[in-house]
A and B are shown apart, each in its own frame.
Chain A
Amino acid sequence: MMNTNTSIGIAATVADANAEQFTMPDGNGYYGKFGGAYIPEMLHRNVEELQAKYLSIMQDAGFQKEFRELLKDYVGRPTPLYLAQRLSKQYGASIYLKREDLCHTGAHKINNTIGQILLAQRLGKKRIIAETGAGQHGVATATVCALKGIECIVYMGEKDIERQAPNVARMKMLGAKVVPALSGSRTLKDATNEAIRDWINNPNDTHYIIGSVVGPHPYPDMVARFQSVISEEIRWQLKEKTGSELPTHVLACVGGGSNAAGAFYHFLDELTVQLVAVEAAGEGVNSGKSAATTALGKPGILHGSKSLLMQTADGQVIEPHSISAGLDYPGIGPLHAHLFASGRGTFLSATDDDALKAAFHIAKTEGIIPALETAHAFSALDQMKFNGKEVVVICLSGRGDKDLGTYMSKM
């Protein structure tokens, strides 16, 4: 049951910047040396409006009330924190699964889209655009647009449309228009480019719901705040179960990094908690077919923020590879780049094969079919050593229905 002393909802206050070293970006959107708003002038007015208004809108009592009610009654929050007994025994640690896969639409993505659709309404926007990789964010966006009766256009890489057919069908059934991104690698990066171009061409009536903690300031902070409900719940749920709010480890997969940002958020400044991010190594970190950004990337600018970026020596963005469309992104959110560069976060990676193996293992061990993205986080357990006393929380960011085609081909 929900602990009445702890509200669900967004991280509520503009924190004292001195006290919160990792949680908040500075006034210009920088986490350490990463972040900012590297946008062409055509986007300036919209981005500036968001920068000026997002905190006050999010902190408004009416907004909070509507946001919390929808998270509870529509999304199904709080999601359970489940002690995975067989996994715990196998690895020699208490392993808890934060069941974001049980959210309406099957992944954590809807926490953010609920928040942003309410924000868009308060900004007077009549048209919503979004990018999507695996299709989870696209479905979550199409869902909230249907809920509010707002026009929805989702950009999706042509390659992803092919490999995530069920989610494309869901978006269409929900009334969204799915537009294929035909440029570049025809995946998430290119869908994001097309969404940004749409926003440039529609500056007045359109809000762009970015699905991850990427993009120009304030998106990384705004999306992290909407997703921070994950770690807010983990704290009080863990307290109920173990007597302490703090685990020893939090594990999450990272593409752009929204579920990791949400799972880490309320532990960022709890320095005893190890934050473990798991990237997609694709066919191997050094195979030339990988999406392990912290291992392969250098500081660079993509989609409006300075972060770590996979790129050639000449600064052209490299087309990444992962079996999981949701992790198939050449960058990483600036918060995560800062966690990596500062040493606050531990970054591991899992290959396509590792992730597949983990997905089948979790299905058989715990009776849960995870999304391919999430399977990367589970796979990292094999790279860690435990002595029986650790309390590990894994963000089970999404369910595997959308990946059944891939799973079936491996049976």
Chain B
Amino acid sequence: MSLLKELFQKKSSRVLNVYCTAGYPKPDSTLEVMKALQSNGADIIELGMPYSDPLADGPVIQHSGLISLENGMTIEKLFLQLKDFRKEIHIPVILMGYMNPVLQFGFEKFCAAAAAVGIDGLILPDLPEFEFETEYGEVIKKYGLDFIFLVTPETSEVRIKKLDQLSTGFLYAVSSSSTTGTDNNLTDVNNYLKRLKGYGLKNPILVGFGIKDKKSFDNACANANGAIIGTAYIKALEKSGSIETSTKTFLNEVLA
């Protein structure tokens, strides 16, 4: 059974997925960040692979990607850093990134390498469902990886149900029509999440975009299985102090 499935069988509420950019803040800090997240209460780690042109991301995550690239991060290096990560990290880890670097690495080679080191799933926001169904989905399945689609408040009911069918692990509910790191109107978010709940989807739902603190996390969790924090954690890492201290302070506040 996939680690994600196992997790949601044990825990169906207040699941916290935290995003961090691989190779950020330091070239070799990837594993240190993951360990800090695991020991301070994250249930899932979403590890971002930096890209020069991250269309769905706001300035904060974009900037962390730029620093990571300046740090020399590549997919090749990432898999080297992740070679033995399963000796220390026992929670689900998914890779998030954009299609182009993955295609250049080689899509099948990428899935094989991810599965070999112990990655559980993928989020590729610019892989459309048509190409997923006709070309890439089978490869992802062949290596036993979960694939998580995004839905937004603009996504139609029919399409939400279809993307839910294609997804495994969980469904990523983008809280508002925005890039990462923008604030939300809580009433709108709640109505949208209630609507999703009413569709009887097969996957657990995690809410992302605009989740930044205890208040927004609690609100998201009231109507979904959990939430994803990205920008706010990257900002926390920007502050001085060790990775462990920054992570601890940040997650303690969110989970209080």
Contacts and interface: CB of A to CB of B under 8 A. Distances in A.
Interface of A: 28, 36-42, 44-45, 183-184, 189, 193, 196-197, 200-204, 298-304, 309, 311, 313-317
Contacts of B56: 40, 42, 200
Given A40-B55, A189-B53, A300 B177 contact: no
Contact of A317 (B53, B66, B177): B53
Given A183-B62, A300-B104, A40 B130 contact: no
Given A200-B177, A316-B52, A41 B100 contact: no
Contacts of B159: 44
Given A36-B131, A40-B125, A41-B150, A316 B101 contact: yes
Contact of A201 (B102, B126, B128, B182): B182
Contact of A203 (B100, B130, B150, B177): B177
A40 B154 contact: no
Given A184-B53, A203-B177, 7 more contacts: A36-B130, A38-B128, A41-B151, A45-B152, A197-B58, A314-B101, A317-B52
6 contacts: A40-B55, A41-B152, A183-B59, A197-B179, A301-B100, A314-B104
A202 B52 CA distance: 23
Given A39-B126, A40-B125, A314 B131 contact: no
Contacts of A196: 55
Contacts of B149: 41
A212 B127 CA distance: 22
B222 interface: no
B104 A315 contact: yes
B174 interface: yes
B118 to A, nearest CB: 22
B199 interface: no
B2 interface: no
B80 interface: no
A41 B155 CA distance: 8
Contacts of A28: 130
A300 B100 contact: yes
B62 A311 contact: no
Interface in B77-132: 98-105, 125-128, 130-131
Contacts of A193: 53, 55
Given A189-B53, A196-B55, A203-B177, A40 B104 contact: no
B75 A40 contact: no
Interface in B7-62: 51-53, 55-56, 58-59, 62
A314 B76 contact: yes
B246 to A, nearest CB: 25
A298 B125 CA distance: 21
Contacts of B62: 183
Nearest to A313: B104
Contact of A314 (B55, B74, B128, B163): B74
B23 to A, nearest CB: 12
B219 interface: no
A316 B58 CA distance: 18
Nearest to B178: A201
Nearest to B209: A42
Nearest to A38: B126
Interface in B148-171: 149-152, 154-156, 159, 163
A317 B100 contact: yes
Nearest to A216: B128
Contacts of B69: 316
Contacts of B66: 183
A45 B127 contact: no
A315 B55 contact: no
B125 A311 contact: no
Nearest to B104: A315
* Most B CB within 10 A of own CB, among A45, A201, A311, A314: A314
A316 B125 contact: no
Contact of A38 (B127, B155, B182): B127
B128 A39 contact: yes
Contacts of B182: 201
B128 A301 contact: no
A303 B126 CA distance: 10
Residue of A38, A299, A313 ringed by the most chain B CB atoms within 10 A: A38
Contacts of B103: 299-301, 315
Nearest to B102: A315
B101 A40 contact: no
A44 B155 contact: yes
Contacts of B174: 41-42
Contacts of B76: 314
B204 to A, nearest CB: 18
A42 B128 contact: no
Contact of B100 (A39, A201, A202, A309): A309
